[in-house]
Amino acid sequence: MKTTTTISNIAEALLEASNIAILTHIQPDGDALGSSLALMLMLRRMGKNARVFCQDAVPASLKFLPRWEEVSIPDEASLEADIVIALDASDEGRLGSCFDMIKTAKKSIQIDHHATNSLFADYNLVDSSVAATGMLVFRLAKELGASIDKDIATYLYTAISSDTGNFCFPSVTDETFDQMAELMRAGLDISTNAQKLHLLKGLGNIRMTGSALSSLKIKAAGRLSSMCLLKEDFVKNDARIEEADGIVNLGLYIHGVEAAYLATETACGIKFNLRCLKPYDVSIVAQQFGGGGHMLAAGCTIKSSMDKALESMDKAMEEMLKA
Ligand SMILES: [Mn+2]
């Protein structure tokens, strides 16, 4: 039976276990890897055998985290664990190939902060009031009596800073800063880590940003911005498709703009990243073209020429802004 649990029950279970497998979600982000590596190191310092598993590789942008190379894909040895604990994964699908380890585990636990969590483990701690899974791992550290050192502080800072948009989202609370104060006392080098986490980009991303900005158009009386990237831009800039991630957000950082999109020419059609400010809802626009997402961030693909796709998208976004 699926049941909800508490931080103290999880701490108790972990203290009794010797072999612990920590799992996190596909396409791991700062919260996923920061939370997982923090828990791994705490448990190892207590003499436990703890490992971190993830279906996908650590992205280059997070390779500043100590021990990132110890994150592995599920293997034979991973099935020996007394406890399998998933972090920051909202549902079975998000765990990818790691979900098999939940299915075969002697005991499975999860800690997460997504309101939509499907409670897939035997014991589930889901608290959507916190900004990051890292904040729940911090509470767990207190419960375990684990001391927080500089590396654990780096991991938890990465988790919390990633999921709060560097402490800008409405999910930030006084507890966020209480935890941060303790991380600072543990020796966190906030400026070096903030630079690595939020400022440093790959050369391909910077060049693609230049190409996207040079295509910028302002429409709908200044309320809509659009950018587009062609296959030849990727070739010219020697950039991979994922190096265009995040560029769409720049379109919203203009006074007066309430909605923005980035159109990217791909092998399967014109891919659109859509963004807007409240009270608008770009997920409805994305759905009109067979895509989906969230209210303020969504995406879809239109199978047509760039010109036709841009025309359809301009019309749909302008309709949204009229409503
Ligand atoms: Mn998260």
**Which domains, and CATH codes, for the chain?**
3-199 (3.90.1640.10), 203-322 (3.10.310.30)
The mean-pLDDT minimum among 51-65, 74-88, 140-154, 304-318 falls in 74-88
Q: 233 C-alpha vs ligand 1 centroid, how far in Å? A: 32
Average pLDDT over residues 112-131: 94
Q: 45 C-alpha vs ligand 1 centroid, how far in Å? A: 24
Name 293's bridge partners.
298
pLDDT at 214 > cutoff 90: yes
d(CA 282, CA 285): 5
pLDDT tens digits, residue range 71-105? 999 987 777 899 999 999 999 999 999 999 999 99
Q: What is the pLDDT of residue 294?
A: 83
Q: 72 C-alpha vs ligand 1 centroid, how far in Å? A: 20
How many CA atoms are closer than 13 Å to the CA of 296, on its beta-carbon side?
Answer: 6
Long-range (24+ apart) CB contacts under 8 A made by 308-313 are: 309/263, 309/269, 309/270, 309/272, 310/226, 310/228, 310/263, 310/270, 313/226, 313/261, 313/263, 313/272, 313/285, 313/289
- DSSP character string of 85-102: EEES--SHHHHGGGHHHH
Q: 149 C-alpha vs ligand 1 centroid, how far in Å? A: 22
Q: 70 C-alpha vs ligand 1 centroid, how far in Å? A: 20
Nearest to 157 by CA among 135, 140, 175, 139: 135
Name 110's bridge partners.
86, 124
Per-chain mean pLDDT for the chain: 95
Q: What is the pLDDT of residue 204?
A: 95
The mean-pLDDT minimum among 60-64, 114-118, 258-262, 270-274 falls in 114-118
d(CA 283, CA 125): 29
Q: 228 C-alpha vs ligand 1 centroid, how far in Å? A: 29
Average pLDDT over residues 274-295: 94
pLDDT at 237 > cutoff 80: yes
Q: 283 C-alpha vs ligand 1 centroid, how far in Å? A: 21
Q: What is the pLDDT of residue 2?
A: 72
Is the pTM value of this prediction over 0.75?
yes
Q: What is the pLDDT of residue 1?
A: 54
pLDDT tens digits, residue range 36-49? 999 999 999 999 99
Residue 60 DSSP label: G
Cβ neighbours of residue 143 closer than 8 Å, sequence gap 6 or more? 7, 8, 10, 11
Q: What is the pLDDT of residue 155?
A: 98
| 56: number of Cβ within 10 Å | 16
Q: 314 C-alpha vs ligand 1 centroid, how far in Å? A: 32
Q: 7 C-alpha vs ligand 1 centroid, how far in Å? A: 17
Q: 35 C-alpha vs ligand 1 centroid, how far in Å? A: 9
Q: 89 C-alpha vs ligand 1 centroid, how far in Å? A: 8
Q: 313 C-alpha vs ligand 1 centroid, how far in Å? A: 31
Cβ neighbours of residue 208 closer than 8 Å, sequence gap 6 or more? 229, 233, 234, 237, 239, 243, 244, 247
Residue type, 82: D
Q: 133 C-alpha vs ligand 1 centroid, how far in Å? A: 5
Q: 31 C-alpha vs ligand 1 centroid, how far in Å? A: 5
Cβ neighbours of residue 32 closer than 8 Å, sequence gap 6 or more? 24, 25, 54, 87, 88, 89, 133
Average pLDDT over residues 107-132: 94
Q: 110 C-alpha vs ligand 1 centroid, how far in Å? A: 13
Percent of the chain scoring above 90 in pLDDT = 92
Q: Do 10 and 110 contact (CB within 8 A), yes or no?
A: no
d(CA 299, CA 127): 27
Q: Predicted confidence band at 244 (pLDDT cuts at 50, 70, 90)?
A: very high
Q: What is the pLDDT of residue 170?
A: 87
d(CA 8, CA 14): 10
